Structure 1
């Protein structure tokens, strides 16, 4: 009986061949999937490498050109500088870049502070408080996103003169804040929506007023999106050109974009000094994004992705 049972359970040649064929098919399918995933991964890495080269090479070319002289700029535009000529940066600073740099820092810093704080307050009110005509307010904010700044140049010119802030730092600070509040409010509001209301209730039970709950509880929880909003505002204000050109006429108050354009007209043939000024203008934003990149990405993914 034992022999008969063993005979019945032993697979025959056909079953063994079918099992081997199935196993080979599974291995081929797995190998094909692995090869496909490998090809996709290689293509992604090649694309990312090409993107890195496309982004970094112009910046590196600008930095390298800032250390050259005029002869090297035209003789070997794609080559490395023969020596590090730091005097190009000193000449750029003495040509007005330092003054333009300070003006840009003042205007950008003030506009970041006002834009982020006012937008955070507005977003908190739209999310937590029962605001009358909330739908109308959201519609007006959406309309602010659709308004092109250049369309309002003529009425803004007369308005700034009536307010006696034309050709002052306040002209740019007020405009940069006003035109960025709609976008920043929507950005912060999208993040605040998913903060549970129980947080405010717990703060109220602990004796906090709505203002204290906003400053001490809600605002610290919104740090990633606040960093994202601050970086986006910094990038906008630092590189903005049209308002700075139209509403600032004094040379001592010009920001970097307009100041570099004026410097180019005065130093038409001194390209290394021009590149040195451009390098000094680009460096702060690069450093700022490198410092806040984690919070920036987290804020955007948690805010816009909701």
Structure 2
């Protein structure tokens, strides 16, 4: 039989091992970001001679120069990410509401068609999409990326919100209908507030996708005033390929908004993906 002292010993050992593992994972994740951020304060010579040392001089000259180079791309990324996030989440939430809370003929077939969009590879549709956007006069505009990001993310976002809505009690809908609420009012005033965790998760996921997406942004834009940060960073690295300090500073500026957003919303993000109100 295992005594109380031996159980507490092994319990303490497992706890220490868990903390050591989490600390190791944290170092593996954080250290490259920290090394990149510190590289923006160094000179090229120090990066090569002392890559793991602290900067000799804490000057923001590299960051200021990098900001002047990427600020136009930053504005485009902010605009495209914000608009596509709003449109994607709203359309997906409304579609999920229709697929779960309203009667319609052939609902399983409609659900399969909507969710089947997740199986469509974006690379397969590149050529027809280029021709279509050119014929519509939307090629090389912000709207081209907004429409594409929305279209290709709606099926996945609908899948997540629909799975969450299936656990919501239908008694709420029936009570609201007895009080005279319309389907639109039920959606806005009851379902959307209850789906806040999964909606926050979908917002974070879409921001991560739209902010870092490169293929569509490279193919469907040519004008620097329209191009997003990933394309701008690639262009900057080709022009400043030997100025690694400035490149590191630009990469840090690009990653900073995503890191801040994730840390501010991580509680809702994890809760939305792991919890259900019907538990």
Please name the residue that 1:225 is paired with: 198
Please name the residue that 1:74 is paired with: 48
Pair 1:262 & 2:243 matched: no
Cα RMSD, aligned residues only: 1.6
User: C-alpha deviations, 1:225-277, integer Å up to 9, x for none?
Assistant: 11100000000000000000000011111100000000111111111111111
SS at match of 1:195: coil
Give how far 1:31 is off.
Answer: 3.3
Please name the residue that 2:71 is paired with: 98
Please name the residue that 1:136 is paired with: 109
Please name the residue that 2:20 is paired with: 46
The question of whether the paired residues in 1 share the 8 Å contact of 2:67 and 2:253 is answered with no
Range with bigger deviation, 278-287 or 129-138? 129-138
Please name the residue that 1:285 is paired with: 258
Structure 2 CA distance for partners of 1:218 and 1:142, relative to 1, 3 Å: closer
Give the Cα–Cα distance (whole angstroms) in 2 for the partners of residues 38 and 150 of structure 1.
Answer: 51
Please name the residue that 2:188 is paired with: 215
Q: 1:182 aligns with which of 135, 155, 164?
A: 155
Give how far 1:180 is off.
Answer: 0.6
Please name the residue that 1:151 is paired with: 124
Give the Cα–Cα distance (whole angstroms) in 1 for the partners of residues 13 and 117 of structure 2.
Answer: 45
Give the Cα–Cα distance (whole angstroms) in 1 for the partners of residues 178 and 110 of structure 2.
Answer: 30
User: C-alpha deviations, 1:201-224, integer Å up to 9, x for none?
Assistant: 222223221101111111111111
Which segments of 5 or more consecutive residues in structure 2 lack a partner in the other structure? Answer: none
Give the Cα–Cα distance (whole angstroms) in 1 for the partners of residues 21 and 153 of structure 2.
Answer: 33
Pair 1:239 & 2:220 matched: no
User: C-alpha deviations, 1:68-106, integer Å up to 9, x for none?
Assistant: 1111111111111112111111111222x0000000000
Range with bigger deviation, 111-120 or 131-140? 131-140
SS at match of 2:155: helix
Pair 1:168 & 2:141 matched: yes
Pairs within 5 Å for 1:194-205: 194-205=167-178
Q: 2:39 aligns with which of 44, 65, 70?
A: 65
Range with bigger deviation, 233-242 or 283-292? 283-292
Q: 1:86 aligns with which of 51, 57, 60?
A: 60
Give the Cα–Cα distance (whole angstroms) in 1 for the partners of residues 116 and 197 of structure 2.
Answer: 26
Give how far 1:39 is off.
Answer: 2.5
Give the Cα–Cα distance (whole angstroms) in 1 for the partners of residues 74 and 193 of structure 2.
Answer: 31
User: C-alpha deviations, 1:160-203, integer Å up to 9, x for none?
Assistant: 11221111011100110111111100100111111111111222
SS at match of 2:103: coil
Range with bigger deviation, 206-215 or 139-148? 139-148
User: C-alpha deviations, 1:110-148, integer Å up to 9, x for none?
Assistant: 110000000000000011011222211222233211222
